[in-house]
A and B are shown apart, each in its own frame.
Chain A
Amino acid sequence: MIRFENVTKVYDQTTRPALDSVNLEIDRGEFAFLVGASGSGKSTFLRLVLKEDRATSGAVYVAGQNVANISSWRVPRLRRGIGVVFQDFRLLPQKNVFANVAFAMQVIGKSRSIIRDTVPEVLKTVGLEGKEHRMPHELSGGEQQRVAIARAVVNRPGILLADEPTGNLDPTTSMGIMGVLDKINQNGTTVVMATHDDDIVNEMRKRVVELRNGIVIRDEARALYTSMIPVVGQSRRLKDASGRPDESATEPGDGSVTSSTGEAK
C-alpha cells in the first residue's frame, strides 16, 4: 500500500537529511507504528506519503503509484485515498460534530443524501452516536479526536495516517482512541501511526518501525516501543536479512504479513 524505495529527503543542504535512504513497505490492511524521537523523520515520512513534499531522491509508491508521477491536478485524488489525523484534532470550531464530518464529503462534491446516510454511520463507528449536534468546545479531547477520525475515514480511504493522535490525551482516553483505530484497521484500512506513546505501542503489539536521524533502525512485527534487541550496525543491518540476529525482526520488503491483530498480549 505504501512503499519507500531508497527515499532520501533533504530540507536544507547544510544539515543532515530528514530521511536517509529509507526502504520500507507497508501492506494493505496493516497496522504500523512509526516511533522515534522528535526530528527522527516520522512527520517527513507522512508528508511524503501525502505528496506535501517531494522526495529528494528515491521513489514513494502509494497504492501502487509513484507519487512523483502524479500531476498536481491529480494530487487531490491521491489525498482522497488517504485519511489524516493530527495531535491537535483540527476541527472547525464553528461547525457541530455532524457538520465537521460532513465537511469532508461536501468539499469533494458528495450529494446531500449520501452525506445524510454516511455521517451517522461513521459517527457510530467511532462511538459518537447521539452527539451529532454538539459543538467541538462541548466535547472532551478524546471525543474531539474521535470526530477527527470520523472525518478522516468518512470518504473510506484505503490508508489512515495518524500523527501522534494520542499526544494530547490521557492514557485511558488514548486507549479508547486506539480501540477506534484498531476497529478501522479491522475493516481493512491500512493504518500508519506516528507516536511517542510507549504504553500504547506496548499494549497494541503491532508492527513497529523505529526511525532515528532519518534512518530506519528497527522494523519488527508485534513489537514493543523499545527494542529488546541490542541495536547494532544501524539501518544497514536490515538490508542484510541473513545477518539479522533476531527472527522477530522482519525484512522491510516482505511486508510483515505476519503482523496481525489478536496476537497482542
Chain B
Amino acid sequence: MRLAFILSEIGSGLKRNLSMVVSVILVTFVSLTFVGAAGMLQLQINQMKGYWYDKVQVAIFLCGDGSTAAGCATGSATPEQQDNLRTLLESPAVAQYINDFQFESQDDAYKHFKEQFSNSPIVDSVTPDQLPASFRINMKDPEKYQIISETFSSQPGVETVIDQRQVLERLFSVMNAASLVAVIIAGVMIVCAILLIATTIRLSAFSRRRETGIMRLVGASKTVIQLPFILEGVIAAVIGAALASGTLWAVAHFFLGEYMSKQYPDTAFISPAQTLILAPALLALGATLAGISSLLTLRRYLRV
C-alpha cells in the first residue's frame, strides 16, 4: 500500500513538473555521454595496445613466406636462424640491455591477432602463415632501442625491428588529451545537472507543499514524505544515463563498427558490446548524483 502510494506520488510529481524533468533528463544525458566518451577512448587505447604493448617495447619480426626485406633472401626464417638470434639475445653484449624476451610463434601471433581484431572483418582473411613469428623484448631502458635495432636488423632471417611504443605513443597522447577534454566538459555538465536537479526538486517540493504539510501533520514518516521527491530526481537522471549508454552503443556500432573499421581495417576498434560495460557505471553515477543532490535540497527546503 505504501509502495503503491509512493509510486503514485512519483507519477504525479513527474507529470506536474514535466518540462523540468525533461531538462534534467537531457542535461544528465549530455553530461554522462561525455563521461562515457572519455571511458570509450580509454577502452579504445587498451584495445590498440594489444597483447604485447604493456609487456614489451621492441619486436624483432622474423622473415615469413612473402618477406621482401634484404635479410630474407633465403625465404622464411629457418630454425637455425631462430636459434642464432636466440643465442645473440642471450649473449652478454645484448643481455645487459634487456630484462627478458619471449618468442612468439606464428600460431601465437595468430591467436593474439584474433583477440585484438575480433571486431574487424580482417580476422577472417588472415591465416597463421601470413603472420610473422617474432622475438618480443622487454628492455631495461626503452631508450636503448637503437642498439637492439642496429644489432638485429642485419641478421639473417630478420625482416624488421620495430619499437612499438614509438609508433603508438603519439596517437595515444592525442587520445588521452581528447579524453581529458571530454572529462572536463563532463565535469562542467555534471555541475549543471546537479544544480538543475536541485532546482527541479525544490520546485517540486514547493508545488506540493500542501500535500507534504498534511503528511507531516498526520504523522507520515520522513521516508514516505521525502522518497517520492528523491526518486523523481533519480528516475529522471537514470533515464538520462540510459540515453547516454544507448548513444555510446550507437557510436560504437555505427561509427566505429560500420564506418571506421572499413576506413582503417588495420586498426583494432572496440566492439559495441564493450561499451555496455560502461552503462552500469553511467547509470550508477547518474542515480548517485541525483540522489545526493535531491537529498541535500530536501534537507533545506522540505521540513519534516
**Which positions in A face B, CB cutoff 8 Å?**
50, 73, 76-84, 90, 92, 103-104, 106-112, 151-152, 155
Contact = CB atoms under 8 A, between A and B. Distances in A.
B1 A107 contact: no
Contacts of B210: 90, 92
Given A76-B222, A106-B5, A109-B2, A84 B217 contact: yes
Contacts of B222: 73, 76
B218 A111 contact: no
Given A90-B210, A92-B210, A151 B1 contact: no
A110 B4 CA distance: 11
Q: How large is the interface on B (under 10, 10 to 19, 20 to 34, 35 or more residues)?
A: 10 to 19
Q: Main secondary structure on chain B at its contact with chain A?
A: helix
29 contacts: A50-B217, A73-B221, A73-B222, A76-B216, A76-B221, A77-B219, A79-B217, A79-B218, A80-B218, A81-B219, A82-B219, A83-B218, A90-B210, A90-B214, A92-B210, A103-B211, A103-B214, A106-B1, A107-B214, A107-B215, A107-B218, A107-B224, A108-B219, A108-B221, A108-B224, A109-B1, A109-B5, A109-B224, A151-B218
A112 B1 contact: yes
B212 to A, nearest CB: 10
Contacts of B215: 107
B11 interface: no
Interface string B47-82: 000000000000000000000000000000000000
Given A90-B210, A106-B5, A107-B224, A78 B219 contact: yes
Nearest to A102: B5
A109 B215 CA distance: 12
Contact of A79 (B2, B211, B216): B216
A108 B218 contact: yes
Contacts of A112: 1
